[in-house]
Structure 1
C-alpha cells in the first residue's frame, strides 16, 4: 500500500471502500486521533507543572549562589592578608641578612 497516494489513487484506497476492511481501518484512524488528542492534553498539563517546579528551583539556586559568593570573598581576603604577612616576613629576613654581612 502506498503511504502517500495521489488524489486519483485515493479514491480506491481501503478507507473509502465500504467493506469490513474499510470500516475497520477508518475506526482505527478515529481511535488513533482520539488517543493523540488525549496525549497532547496530558503533555500540556505536565509542561505546566514542570514550569512551576522550575521557577521554585531557580529561586532556591539564586539564594544559594549569593551565600557562596560571600564566603568566597571572605576566603580571598584572608588569603590576601596571609600573602602580605608572608611578604613582610621575607623582607625582614632579607634585611637581616644584608645587615649581618
Structure 2
C-alpha cells in the first residue's frame, strides 16, 4: 500500500482497519510525523494571520496568507484521501462493501466546497 508523502512521492505504510462499530486508520509513523509537521506549520500560519489582523496588516497580504493556509490544508487532505483510497476503499470494495463509494463521494464533495 502507498502513502503520499510529498506531491508525487509514494512510500509504504498506510492501512485502514474496520472493526464492527468503529473504523480506524493506521498510518505509519513516517506518515503521522509528516502530517503532524504539516499541521504544526499550518497552525503557525494561522497564528501569524491572527497577528497580522491584530497589527492591521494590509488586507491583500492577509488574504494571500489565508490562500497559503488553504493550500496547505488541501495538501494534508490529499495525502489522507490518497491513503484512504489505496487502503480502506480498496479493502472494503474487495469485501463487497459498495457503500464505501457513496461515503467517498460525499467526502470528496465536502473537500471540494
Same fold (TM over 0.5): no
Bigger radius of gyration, 1 or 2?
1
TM-score bracket for the superposition, by shorter chain length: 0.3 to 0.5
The alignment's TM-score, normalised by the length of structure 2, stands at 0.31
**Which of structures 1 and 2 has the larger relative contact order (alpha carbons within 8 angstroms, sep 6+)?**
2
